[in-house]
Amino acid sequence: MSHIALLFPGQGSQVVGMGKEFWNEFDVAKQLFEEASEAISCNLKKLCFEGSMNDLTLTMNAQPALLTVSVIAFQVYMQEIGVKPIYMAGHSLGEYSALVCAGVLPFRDAIKLVRQRGIIMNNADPHQQGTMVAMSHIKLEALQKICEEISTKERPACVACMNADQQFVISGHRQTIQEMINRTESLGTKHSYLNVSGPYHSPMMNMAGKRFKVELDQTKYSQAKYPVISNVTATPYHPDHSVVDYLNMQMTMPVRWLESMHYLIEQGVTEVIELGSKNVLVSLMNKITKRIVPYSLNQPSDLLILTNTHERKNKLLTIRKNMLSNLMVTALISRNYNQDSISYAKRVEPLFLKLQRLKEQVDNNGYELSEEDLNHSIQLCHSILSAKQIPNGTTLIDVI
């Protein structure tokens, strides 16, 4: 059975022409473009379809444009596919798109909110003292250690986005960021400056965060229809914390995308669909794991793939077969931490016999198992791993 999560891209996914094909084919796209344009007194359709890339990339323009196209893609998805997600997650700005689609924020209010967010973020660094740099081929711990060593209160730097394994974004004062680049070059890292107007998700956004909280406090929020993963915690919004708290913290705290995607893996998500322009989050998912099948819906033609249930089912079966193959090896060779040898022997020895027969069957027959047999076999492996009482903190995600 498929468990779907919907993903919403953030700033950097904007492209001239975004949403145009949806507008050509779906009335809901026309309605939402019109509503968004009225909300912020800006011809958003003209900006997205005919504007220059420079204008579209301006933070105060990019944010409402991206939110509008993502919400359109969601409405088209629900209209044409209709399978409800078990989770939603958005990257930075994309979290607002997720909240709209989960019913937490009204669309018109959200458009006004992200427009103001863009203006405040754009004005947060008037002297252009800050910057953001994408960095890869370095471990998170090493990057964080360098940040701690060279950052000062006046010239801070931090890891702003954990996007994938050894793929991050750093943000902060230009001089400190340059020193970080100089220190990491000898380690074989690669870097590229982002085309943004400020050091987002860093301490340099503290004042902007305080100003934006005034806007957040004036907005009404509803109960979510679907769980939304917070960038700040990498887990779903908790009822004990207000939406304002989460979104206010997001201004200065890092986007924990890698951890968020691992959370989806742990919760049994098998497919994700990126709703919006480009395929940035699909590309990241391909780097993060092979246990989830990623799709995108950024134009109507993508519906042909999403409605091909036979092809999607075959992809899921392939993933589960690969998972079973790795699980069998892990269950057989992983260390036993169970101190009760008698109980362990009674429980596991019969399971081991079944597992060995299963492995022979799979090896000889080339994965010729029914879906029911496949599910039963995976559960068998999990039972053995559970009986071995592998300690907390020892995760199987990297293994399987």
- Measure the CA–CA gap between 232 and 248, rounded to whole angstroms: 10
Please state at what angle helix 107-123 crosses helix 59-80, rounded to 10 degrees: 150
Nearest to 185 by CA among 156, 157, 154, 146: 146
Distances (CA, A) of 179 to 127, 151, 172, 182: 19, 10, 11, 5
Helices (H), 124-220: 140-150, 174-184, 206-217
Nearest CA to 286 among 2, 3, 7? 7
Is residue 89 within 8 A of residue 5, CB to CB? The reply is yes
C-alpha to C-alpha distances, 23 to 11, 49, 65, 69, 81, nearest whole angstrom: 21, 10, 13, 10, 18
Instruction: State which amino acid sits at residue 367.
Output: Y
Which of the residues are catalytic? Answer: 92, 201
